[in-house]
């Protein structure tokens, strides 16, 4: 256990074992999970599930979901299975080579927190696990293609990603993915959005929606020690409330 930490999410409702060194789940998968409007009895697929943060936070908010995660790194997949305690089915696989039985299944919701950075445009990190989580080895277009294939008709896909990657996400979405909505996420009032949550519906026909930004922190700048999360964000991170948009 010396190389692992146990971290509390949703005010302690979710407890996750994570590597002490390397990629560690933070706020982003919690926001992603909060944005998924799943209902009891539905199925959810988390692509690149890591230690299970998004899937287990979603399962803690909505009882009665069938949760499946795909993770390429065996160490993280094993931790996700341990963290899930039987609530999360974990498949160790590369998105480019999913097992045949998984390729035959479709889900009501597919969510993903793909690696943010294109390593062809920058330097790789030194920690292999963190690099695999943050550095884009599998092209973003593949994540989107797989999500669109694995979602049921009328089901939704949900991504959290860097704002500057919006054009690539939109370009990669197949034509049958419609009813696109984008929620910009800004660190503070007056600051440009750094992240976005994007959702789309299979065979959806609603008009495109660009929502008002979600502001993470109170005030125009950081003035004191400790967190300064806005009340809505505190409710999501600590109480497990939904992120409706």
Report the CATH number at residue 37.
Answer: 3.40.50.150
- The answer as to whether 29 is a domain residue is yes
Give CA–CA dist 79/106, Å, rounded: 25
Helix, coil or strand: residue 118: coil
**Predicted local confidence at residue 219, as pLDDT:** 82
* pLDDT tens per residue across all 245 residues of the chain: 579 999 999 999 999 999 999 999 999 999 999 999 999 999 999 999 999 999 999 999 999 999 999 999 999 999 999 999 999 999 999 999 999 999 999 999 999 999 997 645 544 445 444 444 444 579 999 999 999 999 999 999 999 999 999 999 999 999 999 999 999 999 999 999 999 999 999 999 999 999 999 999 998 666 666 679 999 999 999 999 999 98
Report the predicted TM-score, pTM, of the whole model to 2 decimal places: 0.91
In a domain, 170, yes or no: yes
Q: What is the DSSP letter of 148?
A: H
Q: What is the per-residue pLDDT for 124?
A: 45
Residue 137 is predicted with a pLDDT of 77
Q: How much is the pLDDT for 225?
A: 60
CA distance 113 to 206: 24
Domain-embedded: residue 47: yes
N residues, the chain: 245
Residue 137 included in any domain = yes
Check residue 221 and give left, alpha or beta (phi > 0: left; psi -120 to 50: alpha): beta
Question: 88-92 and 107-112: which strand pairing?
Answer: unpaired
pLDDT score, position 153: 98
Residue 245 domain-assigned (yes or no): no
Question: Is 190 within the bounds of a domain?
Answer: yes
Instruction: Look at residue 227 in the predicted model and tell me its pLDDT.
Output: 79
> Rounded CA gap, 223 and 245, in Å?
29
Q: Give residue 34's region: left, alpha or beta (phi > 0; psi -120 to 50).
A: alpha
How many structural domains compose the chain? 1
Q: Is residue 200 part of a domain?
A: yes
| Token pair belonging to 223 | 């003035």
Dihedral sign of CA atoms 124, 118, 213, 178 in order: negative
Q: Which domain, by its residues, includes 165? A: 4-239
Question: Is residue 36 within 8 Å of 83, Cβ to Cβ?
Answer: no
The residue written with tokens 């009328």 in the block is 154
User: Tell me, what's the pLDDT at 118?
Assistant: 66
Is there a domain that residue 244 lies in? Answer: no
Strand pairing partners for 107? 151
β 214-215/195-202 pair status: unpaired
pLDDT the model gives residue 223: 60
């Amino acid at each position: 256990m010396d190389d692992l930490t146990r971290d509390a999410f949703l005010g302690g409702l979710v407890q996750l074992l994570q590597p002490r060194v390397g990629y560690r789940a933070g706020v982003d998968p919690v926001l992603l999970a909060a944005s998924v409007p799943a209902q009891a009895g539905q199925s959810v697929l988390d692509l690149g599930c890591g230690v299970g943060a998004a899937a287990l936070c979603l399962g803690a908010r909505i009882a009665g979901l069938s949760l499946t995660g795909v993770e390429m790194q065996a160490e993280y997949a094993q931790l996700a299975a341990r963290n899930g305690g039987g609530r999360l089915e974990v498949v160790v696989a590369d998105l480019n080579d999913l097992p045949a039985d998984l390729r035959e299944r479709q889900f009501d919701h597919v969510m993903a927190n793909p690696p943010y950075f294109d390593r062809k445009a920058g330097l790789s990190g030194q920690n292999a696990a963190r690099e695999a989580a943050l550095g884009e080895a599998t092209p973003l277009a593949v994540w989107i293609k797989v999500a669109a294939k694995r979602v049921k008709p009328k089901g939704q896909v949900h991504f959290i990603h860097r704002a500057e990657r919006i054009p690539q996400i939109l370009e990669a979405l197949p034509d049958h993915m419609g009813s696109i909505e984008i929620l910009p996420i800004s660190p503070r009032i007056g600051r440009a959005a750094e992240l976005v949550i994007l959702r789309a519906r299979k065979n959806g026909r609603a008009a495109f929606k660009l929502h008002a930004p979600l502001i993470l922190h109170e005030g125009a700048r950081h003035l004191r020690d400790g967190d300064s999360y806005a009340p809505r964000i505190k409710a999501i991170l600590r109480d497990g409330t939904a992120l409706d948009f």
